[in-house]
Each structure stands twice: as structure tokens, then as C-alpha cells.
A and B are shown apart, each in its own frame.
Chain A
């Protein structure tokens, strides 16, 4: 079985580690807090968050930033639970 994209332990790479510090942007904190609130309210749990992240298409996973993966996952979970209708968030964002 091919290894899943999130399973990084020992993944062959020589890439150096970028050690620059990064203060979380407002939207990153918001995403974190939204997920935390949804978990506290029992709308979703940490395993669902992980499964959503792990179900991202591999190339998207590699490209996405950390909180972009969270956002993808929480949207997926909320759609599956019927909290969000398909396309609802996109319609809200449409100009």
C-alpha cells in the first residue's frame, strides 16, 4: 500500500528546516478558534479534523499552508454533517 501524504515520518528528504518564527495571522487564529469552538460544542472532534486533513488530494496537501489544511478539513466535516450546503460558502464569497 502506498503511503499516505500526511504520514511524513522518515519521508525521504534532505530539505532544511525553515526555522523562522511566524506570528499567527488573524485569519489563522480565527480558524483555530472556530475549530476549537466547534469541538467544544460537540459539532466535530479532533479525529474528524485529522481525517479531513488526511483526505486532501496529495498535491493540494503539499501546497496548502497549515491552516489552509484546517479550513479544508472543517469545511469538509461541516458539509458531511449537513451544516453547510454544497457550495454555500463559495456563494457567500462570490463578489
Chain B
């Protein structure tokens, strides 16, 4: 990123494998800083915030809910407030809605119009979540999509597809894997993957090695 002053001509800012949009984005930042519309430090801080977001916060919410039914009730009632209760940053979106997978119901989250996603709690959405085939097929062929991700639902399990909007973002509480009684919150959280909170995977059955 450019930290240079503006007393010399701009050096070329593209590197070989970058699309033209890369130079465009940098030039746009330079222009907006010069015009005092944004401050470079604020943009840097925003980048720091973005890269600090990971699925770990969402996983902590889920694990706490598995351990504490009263917390899970509060999580289902208002996920923003539940996140704040644990000292987590739920982000700027007005509503985050947690939904619970059960023996009878499975939830799958999509944003058919674009890419809405609880980014503060899950980190940036994966590329496939933003891809045109996922956005189309999560609605027209959700069981096929799940199968592509390796999840086979029994025919009698109801599948609910949730379409996110800018105002409502969803977080799936996956089913707690059997045989995990006695695990700590931290150990349980390690089983809760990003994909399981989108609804395209089940949580891990055992903690990942390492």
C-alpha cells in the first residue's frame, strides 16, 4: 500500500498478476485522501478490523449455547445482544438472527441478491458464498447443493433456506455432535466450523489435529 508523499510522480502500482482494478482501488484511495474525504489511517484501521474477523467468534457463541440452554435461548432471541453479552463485536448490521438445526430441521443460508453475511462474527464470506451458482442453486436445488458439500439429509428432515438481506443476517447453530459430553467450551468451539454456521456442513466430530 502506498505510504509515499505526493511530491513526486506516481510510480506504476500494478504488479504482474493483479487485475487493473487493483491499481484503480489504490488510486481511488489516494484521491479520496487528497480530497480529505477519508483519512489513510482510518482505512488502515478498517483493514485491520476486517482481517481480525474470523469464524472463532461465531463458534464461541454456538459452543456457549450448546453448554448453556438459557444462553442458547437468548442467542435465538437476539444474537446481537448475545454476542455483546460475551464481549464479542456483532458488527454494524441491524439484526443477526441465529437459527437452530435439530433432528427435524436443517437451515441453509444464502444471499441470493449479493453477499450479506454476519461478517463481524464469521469473518469474510467464502468465495463460493458470493458465487452465482451458489446464489442460484441454494434456492432451486438446496439438497443438491448440500450433497455437493458432502451433507446428505434424510428425506424426512425439513430443509429451510434462509435468504439474507442487508438488514437481517443469519447464523446457523449446528447440532451438537454426539459423544461430546464433558468437553469444555473451548473444545466444543473447535468443532464449530465456518461452513457449519452457514449450514453447508455438519460440525466436526472430533477436534482438528494440531
Contacts and interface: CB of A to CB of B under 8 A. Distances in A.
Interface of A: 6-13, 15-22, 24-27, 29-34, 36-41, 43, 46-47, 50, 53-54, 62, 65-68, 71, 74-75, 78, 83-84, 88-89, 92-93, 95
A37 B128 CA distance: 25
A13 B28 contact: no
15 contacts: A9-B112, A11-B136, A15-B137, A17-B137, A18-B128, A21-B127, A27-B26, A29-B47, A37-B46, A38-B37, A40-B42, A43-B38, A65-B21, A66-B115, A89-B28
B25 A37 contact: no
Given A8-B112, A65-B19, A92-B31, A29 B51 contact: yes
B52 to A, nearest CB: 12
B88 to A, nearest CB: 18
A19 B149 contact: yes
B128 A34 contact: no
Given A9-B135, A16-B148, 14 more contacts: A10-B112, A10-B136, A11-B136, A15-B132, A19-B126, A19-B148, A19-B149, A21-B126, A24-B124, A29-B51, A34-B32, A66-B115, A68-B19, A71-B25
Contacts of B140: 9-12
Contact of A9 (B46, B139, B166): B139
A2 B47 CA distance: 38
A85 to B, nearest CB: 10
B50 A32 contact: yes
A57 to B, nearest CB: 16
A50 to B, nearest CB: 6
Contact of B28 (A9, A29, A75): A75
